[in-house]
Every structure is written in structure tokens, then in C-alpha cells.
Chains A and B, each alone.
Chain A
Amino acid sequence: AQKVTQTQTSISVMEKTTVTMDCVYETQDSSYFLFWYKQTASGEIVFLIRQDSYKKENATVGHYSLNFQKPKSSIGLIITATQIEDSAVYFCAMREGNNYAQGLTFGLGTRVSVFP
């Protein structure tokens, strides 16, 4: 069974710095997909970035990038040049490639607070 664990419950950073948050996953499948979502204060859940397990290059979208360490079953999210509006809860999620029927499994989230 798949499992996603985010060990950091909250992180505080100063504006314009870099924040890194961790996520480890468990799966028996050789093919899987990893996602990061952001939940804003209003409750909206927004897709940020994704990493497919067969890709060796770390995904990058805008000021979001991933640190994919497959041997460690780890997919960290890095946000550079943080802004106040990056304050949110960030969720890591996974889907096993052969388990299409089960949707995504989510971690419990990491709350990021960005201070001026």
C-alpha cells in the first residue's frame, strides 16, 4: 500500500529566502507519480508541480523545484525567493502507476509561514 509522510508540521522563513520541505513515500511499484499541492488560507487547493518516477531530472516550475532522491524515496519541495503569498500549507501526494483506481494519496501537510 502506498504511504506519504511529511514530517515537518510547520516552517517559518523570512521573505526572499529559500524554504525546503521534505516528503518521503512508500510504494511497491516501480512506476509512480509524485505531486505537490498548496492550500491557501481561503482553503483553495492548487496544483504546483509534479515528478514522474521514470524521469531523472528534477522538475522545476517558476520558483518551485523538486529534489527527487529515488533511492531514498524522497521528494522535497524547494521554494526560492519566497514571498508573503507563499504562506500556505503544502501537501505532497502520490499515485502508483499501476493503481489508477485509487486516486492520489496525500501527506498531512507542512504549514509554511513567510514573514517580512
Chain B
Amino acid sequence: DMKVTQMPRYLIKRMGENVLLECGQDMSHETMYWYRQDPGLGLQLIYISYDVDSNSEGDIPKGYRVSRKKREHFSLILDSAKTNQTSVYFCASSSSTPSGNTLYFGEGSRLIVV
């Protein structure tokens, strides 16, 4: 069963608190991604991971860090969350084939920072 699972689905945090968003996939995909989605800005790439402990910044990495210790898990960490990090966060995964990568998305995690 091809599935990307995100936890938690909804989260409310106070400004300055740490946030951990977790993502798992059961497709043995090498590559995983974190995007955020905001009205008017669309989906923006935060980080990409090519495999365990092989991560690269995306377009908007500031304020975020990631961890990938197992191929099937990819975490997004916000140290000292800010109100402008209120957003919907999507994890995705894809296989590393030369013919191009179709991304498969999780259900999203809605984060509100107050």
C-alpha cells in the first residue's frame, strides 16, 4: 500500500516553543521532501532529503531543520516557532529514478503558532 503518513495532523503552539512534525512512507522511496503551503504563495520547498543523513536546503529553509535517520522517516523541526511559520506543511516522497520523480504527498499537518 503506497502511503505517506504525517503526524500530527493539527497542532497549536505558542511562539518560542519547539515543533516536531513527523513523516513516514512505506514505499522505500529514497527521496523525501517538506513543503509548506500558504494562500497566494502556493507550495514552497523547505528541505529535500536524498536518503539517510543526506539533506539539502530547498527554497525557504530559514527557521527549519530536518532529520532523517531511517529511510522511511523524515522529520521537520522548528526550533522556537514563530507566528509566520503558521502554515500547512506537506511531506512527500519519490523514488530516485532517472526518468523523473513523481511526488506522493501526505495528508498535511496544519500548524498554528500563537
Instruction: Tell whether A and B belong to one assembly.
Output: yes
Given known pairs A103-B33, A107-B42, A109-B42, the reply for A43 and B108 (CB within 8 Å) is yes
Q: In the bound complex, do residue A44 and residue B103 qualify as a contact, i.e. CB atoms below 8 Å apart?
A: no
Query: B43 touches which one: A33, A47, A91, A102 (CB < 8 A)?
Result: A91
Roughly how many angstroms separate A91 CA and B42 CA in the complex, as a whole number?
9
Q: Which of A45, A46, A100, A103 has the most CB of B within 10 A?
A: A103
Q: Counting chain A CB atoms within 10 Å of each CB, which of B40, B59, B100 scores highest? A: B100
Contact A47 B42 (CB under 8 A): no
Q: Which residues of A contact B99 (CB under 8 A)?
A: 52
Give every chain B residue within 8 A of A109 (Cβ-Cβ): 42
Q: Which of A33, A35, A45 contacts B90 (CB 8 A)?
A: A45
Q: How many residues of B contact A (CB 8 A)?
A: 23
Q: Assess whether B101 is interfacial by the CB under 8 Å rule.
A: yes
Sort A-B residue pairs by CB-CB distance and give the 6 closest, nearest first: A33-B100, A45-B105, A106-B43, A108-B42, A43-B108, A103-B45
Instruction: Please list 18 pairs of residues, one from A and one from B, whose beta carbons are closer than 8 Å in the complex, sorted by A's number.
Output: A37-B105, A43-B107, A43-B108, A44-B105, A45-B90, A47-B104, A47-B105, A91-B43, A95-B100, A97-B100, A101-B56, A102-B48, A102-B58, A103-B33, A103-B35, A103-B103, A104-B45, A106-B42
Per-residue A-contact encoding for B101-114, CB less than 8 Å = 1, 0 else = 11111011010000
B3 → chain A, closest Cβ, in Å? 12
* B88 at the A interface (CB under 8 A): yes
Q: A103-B45, A106-B42 are in contact. List 20 more A-B contacts (CB 8 A).
A: A35-B102, A43-B107, A43-B108, A44-B105, A44-B107, A44-B108, A47-B102, A47-B103, A47-B105, A91-B42, A95-B100, A95-B101, A100-B101, A102-B48, A103-B58, A103-B103, A104-B45, A104-B101, A107-B42, A108-B41
Across-interface contacts of A100 in B (CB, < 8 A): 101
**Is there contact, CB below 8 Å, between A101 and B42?**
no
Expressed in whole angstroms, the minimum distance between the Cβ of A26 and any Cβ of chain B is 15
Closest chain B CB from A7 CB (angstroms): 14
Whether B48 and A101, one on each chain, are in contact in the complex, defined by CB atoms closer than 8 angstroms, is yes
- A51 to chain B minimum Cβ distance, whole angstroms, is 10
Most buried by B among A35, A45, A109: A45
